[in-house]
Amino acid sequence: MEIEPSRVRQNFLAIVVAAIACFLVQMGWYSYFSAAWVTGIGRTPEWLNHTGVNPALQYGAALLAEAVMAVVISCVTQLTGPQTLFRGIKAALLLWLGFVVPVLAVNYVFEVRTWALFGINIGFWLAGMIVMGAIVGEWKKRA
């Protein structure tokens, strides 16, 4: 199979929507698992609220990272065949399994973090990446 980078056509509106959708999934996910997540990271809600870190910086970094991921999922989707909803989801699943899970697994083993926290975090990335893959896979750029 010959890969032709020139056939990749990014739909930047789809990428923005995918990043925002992933961000909304993230908000819901970590709201639902907030108590277990805070316990897993060894902090308290009070500590988190008084770190001095600007929340706009945190949310901006999350959105930017999710936009980069949406671009990559879109590229892999298009470079591996016809751009479809299911190919977008498949690309997202493979990228999650091949990169997110192993990277987090290594971090968690060396940081001696709990399996519960690992499950919470990889679960979010699975859900978020599937949402992004579905959006960038289905929403084709007009010629």
State the pLDDT confidence band at 8, using cuts at 50, 70 and 90. confident
- Average pLDDT over every residue of 83-100: 97
Residue ranges per structural domain of the chain: 9-138
Q: Rounded to a whole number, what is the largest CA-CA distance in the chain? A: 54
Predicted local confidence at residue 7, as pLDDT: 77
What is the distance between the alpha carbons of residues 124 and 82, in angstroms, rounded to a whole number? 27
8 A C-beta contact, residue 125 and residue 105? no
Q: Identify the H or E element spanning 62.
A: helix 55-79
**What pLDDT digit, counting tens, does each position of 33-76 carry?**
999 999 999 988 888 888 888 989 999 999 999 999 999 999 99
Q: 């056939």: which residue's tokens?
A: 7
